[in-house]
Amino acid sequence: MEAPILTINNLTKKFGPITAVNNLSFTINKGEIYGILGPNGSGKSTTLGMVLNVVNTTSGHFKWFNGTLNTHDALRKVGAIIERPNFYPYMTAVENLKLVCTIKHVHASKIEEKLDIVGLLDRKNSTFRNYSLGMKQRLAIASALLNDPEILILDEPTNGLDPQGIHHIREIIKRIAKQGTTILLASHLLDEVEKICTHVVILRKGIKLYSGRVDEMISSHGFFELKSNTHDLLMQELKAHPAFGKLKVHNGLITAFLNTPLAADVFNKQLFEKHIILTHLVQRKESLEEQFLQLTDTK
């Protein structure tokens, strides 16, 4: 079992009457790429702020590196970008990173290695003001890597970038993870989490809806789309059937989500024996997007 990098227990943050994060618990282990996924205002940034000690917790607690270090010392092993990159516009990439090295007490010999990781080595002597938004974000990642962190924390790393910039950042994150750095990223983009992350915690209004492996979330049992001339009887049967969970009805079409595997022909036979004839039966696999929408559905 890999050692936990960050353990969060019943973390809660209230801003006056508003509960931004509500009783949140999850664990990030070494080597994972962990996504905090949720719509804007779901508590992602507040959660990151708490574990980075820039937002006070209301209740609950968290521990870094299995509690072997206090938060102050632990944060020296953390690299984080939680705001827009903030560098001196008229200084070059190298000059800006030299300043960061001084602040972090890191040797300046690391600069070129980190610029290479983010693909900016050939632009090391360009001034920050002449960088595109994507390059500015990549320089921020290089800056966060200077102290060789054990975990890199990124808040909405591709926000505002064009498709090429998004692709660049995602490839860099994967490259950093391959080198053994644990990653925690907050995103409202399902696509981002699906393409990059190994694990995910989904938040809505500060409440955890799901946490676990991304591939396990995708491997749900799918759903049936059903219609029958005896609609009420069919609904009754679905509600009583142990294989089904959530049911949705729209224009007479019933969507029945499966809790356990069930073959369409087996179910059709079961209904036929109870004199329920289907006029429409389609079995579908549920995509991560459909699950995400179902989880975050406020209705």
pLDDT in tens, 165-193: 999 999 999 999 999 999 999 999 888 89
Does the pTM surpass 0.85? The reply is no
d(CA 75, CA 50): 12
Looking at residue 13, its pLDDT comes to 96
Going by DSSP bridges, is the β-strand pair 4-15/18-29 parallel, antiparallel, or unpaired? Answer: antiparallel
What is the pairing mode between strands 151-155 and 78-81? parallel
Domains of the chain from N-terminus onward: 4-217 (3.40.50.300), 223-297 (3.30.70)
Percent over 70 (pLDDT), the chain: 94
Q: What is the pLDDT of residues 276-287, one digit of tens each?
A: 999 999 988 766
3, HSE (Cβ side, Cα atoms, 13 Å)? 9
8 A C-beta contact, residue 9 and residue 62? yes
Question: What is d(CA 60, CA 126) in angstroms, rounded to the nearest whole number?
Answer: 45
Q: How far apart are CA 133 and CA 194, in angstroms?
A: 24
Nearest to 182 by CA among 150, 154, 211: 150
The mean pLDDT value for 125-151 works out to: 96
pLDDT tens digits along 81-116:
988 778 999 999 999 999 999 999 999 999 999 999
Backbone phi and psi for residue 101, each to the nearest 5 degrees, phi listed first = -60, -40
Per the prediction, the chain carries an average pLDDT of 91
Residue-wise pLDDT tens digits, 22-43: 999 999 999 999 999 998 889 9
Q: What is the dihedral of CA 178, 162, 134, 164, to 10 degrees?
A: 50
- Provide the percentage of residues in the chain whose pLDDT is more than 90: 73
Tokens of 284: 């579908």
Mean pLDDT of 160-167: 93
| Predicted pLDDT at 11 | 97
C-alpha–C-alpha distance, residues 189 and 200, integer Å: 12
Residue 285: per-residue pLDDT: 72
Tokens of 29: 């282990």
Residue 215 predicted with pLDDT over 80:
no
CA distance 24 to 36: 12
- Detail the DSSP E strand segments found in the chain: 4-15, 18-29, 33-37, 59-64, 78-81, 151-155, 182-187, 199-204, 207-213, 223-228, 244-250, 253-258, 278-284
What's the whole-number mean pLDDT along residues 52-77?
Answer: 93
- Looking at residue 299, its pLDDT comes to 47
CB of 73 closer than 8 Å to CB of 24: no
Mean pLDDT of 134-144: 96
Is a pLDDT exceeding 60 seen at residue 3? yes
Quick one: pLDDT band at residue 260, thresholds 50, 70, 90? confident
